[in-house]
Structure 1
Amino acid sequence: MTKVRLVAAFLVLLTAWGAWYSFERNVEWSARIAWGEARGEPKGGMQAVINVMANRRDDPRYPNSLAAVARQRWQFTAFNENDPNRPKLEAVEEDDPQYQRAKRLATFAELGILWDLTDGATYYHSDIINRPTYLDEAEVTTTIGRHIFYRDAD
């Protein structure tokens, strides 16, 4: 094999590894956030949180990867530095059944095949708080468990 072919093969492997690493990172972080935000919610709760992250990823106003959306500062309560869920979501074990479910859902989202239960929502909040003022113009798309989902009004 010539040096050129060796270099080309190395670059192909490096590119494949980078794509795999990016895929895994996007799945891991969106699953951790969904687990931290909605692990106690009824069926559809974690999926809806991942839907919001995927909808943001596809919106030019937000970062263009699930991991970047998931880790964006002050966007998801469970990731806030002083939130009691933060250490839990950072330490969740791979064998946790709800985390495994969140990872499956996040994998589907990363592949672009996760059904959107939120009808395009890019925001949500718990029903234990009043509607935030930044959502005054947004329209409610659905309620799933204890979360109310919104999208920008057209």
Structure 2
Amino acid sequence: MPPDSLLTSPVQVLARTAWGEARGEGREGMQAVMNVIARRAATPCWWGRDIITVCLKPWQFSCWNKNDPNHIKILTVTDNDKQFRDSLELSGQLTAGFLPDLTNRSDHYFNIHSAPPAWAAGNTPECILGNHAFYRLGPYGQEKNNA
């Protein structure tokens, strides 16, 4: 079990989530995942109300699923890992309000090499960055948010 401080620090939870979801996509991919998390935190609803609750919402970010191979990795990675150091730096920038949004306010994404989730049907991605397609569906996943 990780120290409680890892799961109560927005910077740590955000960095671990982005690293677990997109470390193979480099800084840009991790930044894009953080942008989705920030968008969700800025529009509270079923997916959470802040960075921590958004990241830890069950079944939203697969790296936090107990049966996911990345789960133990995100709990044990240290800043000895270059990609995790990058993720920590980006996380600090986002929580300080200085990380640009690469996703055009997207609040959903998926890996384009996996089967598209049901919510993607009939929706057009805002952008594709690396192996992820990013969508802006609004707080209830039904239509675009004009906010």
**Shorter-chain-normalised TM-score: which range?**
0.7 to 0.9
Q: How many residues align?
A: 132
Q: What amino acid maps onto 1:84 in structure 2?
A: P
- Match of residue 71, structure 1, among 41, 50, 56: 56
SS at match of 2:31: helix
- Match of residue 131, structure 1, among 113, 116, 119: 116
Gaps of 5+ in 1: 1-20
Q: Distance in 2 between matches of 1:58 and 1:137?
A: 25
Matched with 1:34 is: 18
Matched with 1:10 is: none
2:29 matches 1:45 = yes
Over the aligned positions, Cα root-mean-square deviation in angstroms equals 1.6
TM-score (structure 2 length as normaliser): 0.83
Gaps of 5+ in 2: 138-142
- Match of residue 95, structure 1, among 80, 86, 98: 80
Identity %: 36
Q: Which runs of 4+ in 1 moved over 3 A?
A: none
SS at match of 1:115: coil
Q: Distance in 2 between matches of 1:74 and 1:150?
A: 18
Q: What amino acid maps onto 2:11 in structure 1?
A: V
Deviation at 1:53, TM superposition (A): 0.4
Larger Rg: 1
Instruction: Summarize deviations over 1:52-106 as a string: whole Å, max 9, x none.
Output: 1001000122422211111111000111110000001110012211111101111
SS at match of 1:148: strand
